[in-house]
Amino acid sequence: MSRDLRLRATFDKAAALYQDARPDYPAELYSDLLAITGLTPPARLLEVGCGPGKATLPLARTGFRITAIELGTALAAQARHRLTAFPDVSVITSAFEEWKPPAGARFDLVYAATAWRWVDPEVKYAKAAKLLPQGGHLAVWNADHAFPADFDPFFTDLQKVLEEMGEGGGGPWPPPPPEDRPDPIAAEFDASGHFTVVGTRRYVWALRYTADEYIALLSTFSGHIAMKPAKNEHLFREIRRRLAARPDGRLTRHWSVILTIGRRL
């Protein structure tokens, strides 16, 4: 198993923080998803890696019937708690690769929100295709740190701290702005032999964070969950120290999401 797939189990340790610390996905994303796929309630949806229900709730409120698969026991429990008002939503604790769907199960949409990269590439596209009728859809999106031209200089200072810790990532700094970053998933869809891309959309927005809020956010990322405690403690002290010198004590973090939708061949 690759290091990426091993790290996916770390998120369960952050189950109590995840829902509040991670940003909500833009409302426009869900509107575009339904417009491109043509889906209307009560279509049947399958969510891969639902976490605590971050992307499940908006679609459940719309009236869809959803089966949500979640690897982490604590995360699945959080999702069940938040989705108790929706009898047409079920949360199953399992890895997607190991989940055995009921005989003849078919869905109108398989989707994954900030989870698809954690599923075995040798399995995920073929298994999703088997659960969809011809013409059914697979939708994938992921929330990433974005660095537009006007990104907060706080992150250049923080990058220096990370590099001193040996955690700089090794890539160029600053990273390319969101408009120059290609859709990393579209080529996978086409190469899978099971799907053709029928739509992509990009969303960029900014959020303000206090030191406590930003540290809570970082504490939901696999790299930080798996990082040695002494390194996290040093990094978090530096975040607090730098933000304490700002008049409002806050930083601005930009987010970028690319929604990729494929149709089953």
Q: What is the pLDDT of residue 1?
A: 46
Instruction: Tell me the C-alpha to C-alpha distance, in Å, between residue 211 and each of 96, 199, 200.
Output: 35, 37, 34
Residue 62 has pLDDT above 60, yes or no: yes
Q: pTM for the complete prediction?
A: 0.94
* Average pLDDT over all residues of the chain: 94
Q: Which residue matches tokens 């940003």?
A: 23
Structural domains in the chain?
3-148+177-207+253-264 (3.40.50.150)
Q: What is the pLDDT of residue 89?
A: 98
Q: How confident is the model at residue 33 (pLDDT cuts 50, 70, 90)?
A: very high
Residue 97 has pLDDT above 90, yes or no: yes
Q: What is the pLDDT of residue 2?
A: 54
Q: Look at 105-109, 167-171, 258-262 and tell me which has the smallest mean pLDDT.
A: 167-171
Residue 212 has pLDDT above 50, yes or no: yes
**Is residue 12 helix, strand or coil?**
helix
DSSP 39: -
Q: What is the pLDDT of residue 5?
A: 62
Question: Do the strands 137-146 and 109-113 form a parallel or antiparallel pair, or are they unpaired?
Answer: parallel
Q: What is the mean pLDDT of residues 43-63?
A: 98
Q: What is the pLDDT of residue 4?
A: 65
Q: What is the pLDDT of residue 6?
A: 65
For the beta sheet containing 195-210, the strands, ordered from the edge strand earlier in sequence to the opposite edge, are: 89-93, 65-70, 44-48, 109-113, 137-146, 250-264, 195-210
- Torsion sign over Cα 80, 84, 85, 86: positive
